[in-house]
Structure 1
Amino acid sequence: MKKQKLIKDLFLSLFYSGYSPKAPGTAGSALALILGMPIVYYSQETLFLASIFIALVAIKHIDIYEEHTQTHDDKSIVIDELVGMWLAMSIVGFGLWELILAFVFFRIFDIYKPSFIGRLDKKVKGGLGVVGDDALAGILAGIVSVLVLQIAQSIFSFFNL
């Protein structure tokens, strides 16, 4: 039983990055970025599918955790950050600026929870609510990152920079 609890703690806290005393979500997102880099370098599609699989497993285990502890969206649970970051990374692909922008926009959308992200966070309970808002933040971060890069490329091309 202890081994099973240890594995679940490792999974939900993303190798204990969720226990960071300062900004556990950012620590989890940074670790997710590092863990996702070799996968996205190999294949964006593989990273996307891995994020969906992990999201489904995370939703189930977060539901169990919340039922057992009677706590919603515990700060130590950062596996949802991995899902969001990997979704953003699977949209932008492998490149220095792409990954930097995906990370920055994901953190902004995850922290401030604009529009429908905030509504989902408040209205959907359990694992789906915990993972869902980060998944939406990741998708939005990926799309915004691609748009920013396209605009920057257009500006540089226009001015022959």
Structure 2
Amino acid sequence: MLRHPAHWLGLGFGSGLSPIAPGTAGTLWAWGVFVLLQQVFSPAQLGGLIALSLPIGWWACTITARNLGRDDPGCIVWDEVVAMWLILWLLAPASWHGQLLAFALFRLFDAAKPHPVRWADQCFKGSGWRGGWGILFDDLVAAFCTLLVLAAGRHFGLW
């Protein structure tokens, strides 16, 4: 993790090094950090941070995957971080229970990879910049699916 600055970001400041469910650990880390960031930044500033986190994360995921010698290592969790921040930012203000439901739905979509997340996971496979974008892309699609389910549930009065 200390060999390159991109590794800090790609590995979610160490959360991706969890021996058990690194994607879940990274998503939990993202949730906790987002709650703290909400205390400091306005919604517009958070949106700017998320927008900036995408290209910087693309760079970090690309470099980290290349240095690890694998296309999409499970320890790279910046994709989960950015996706969870995006979900929480678009849901805000959301209750603790709403955030928990968003977390659970996102983890379900990210881990189970139903269509269209599975499609997105296959779109940009490989090494280099294309593969770095692919690491992020399927999680962004999982975030979209999470938000779609939450919106549908709200529309039909399920929550």
TM norm structure 1: 0.82
Aligned residue pair count: 152
Q: Which amino acid aligns with 1:127?
A: G
2:12 aligned with 1:14, yes or no?
A: yes
In structure 2, the residue matched to 1:127 is 132
Cα pair distance change 1:153/1:39, threshold 3 Å: farther
Question: Partners in 1 of 2:17 and 2:68 — Cα distance?
Answer: 17
Question: Partners in 2 of 1:110 and 1:51 — Cα distance?
Answer: 19
Which residue of 145, 149, 157 corresponds with 1:144?
Answer: 149
Cα pair distance change 1:27/1:69, threshold 3 Å: closer
In structure 2, the residue matched to 1:89 is 88
Cα pair distance change 1:151/1:29, threshold 3 Å: same
**Structure 1 stretches (4+) deviating beyond 6 angstroms?**
none
Question: Partners in 2 of 1:45 and 1:108 — Cα distance?
Answer: 28
Deviation at 1:59, TM superposition (A): 1.0
Q: Which amino acid aligns with 1:109?
A: F
CA contact (8 A) 2:79 2:139 kept: yes
Q: C-alpha offsets along residues 29-88 of structure 1, whole Å, 9 cap, x if unaligned?
A: 000001111334654443333222112111122223333443111111101100110111
**3-state DSSP class of the match of 2:157?**
helix
CA contact (8 A) 1:84 1:134 kept: yes
Which deviates the most, 84-93 or 66-75? 66-75
TM norm structure 2: 0.83
In structure 2, the residue matched to 1:75 is 74
Map residues 12-51 of structure 1 onto 2, 5 A cutoff.
12-40=10-38, 43-51=42-50
- Percent of residue pairs bearing the same amino acid type: 28
Cα pair distance change 1:48/1:146, threshold 3 Å: farther
2:96 aligned with 1:104, yes or no?
A: no
Which deviates the most, 20-29 or 88-97? 88-97
5+ residue gaps, structure 2, are: 126-130
In structure 1, the residue matched to 2:56 is 57
Which deviates the most, 76-85 or 56-65? 56-65
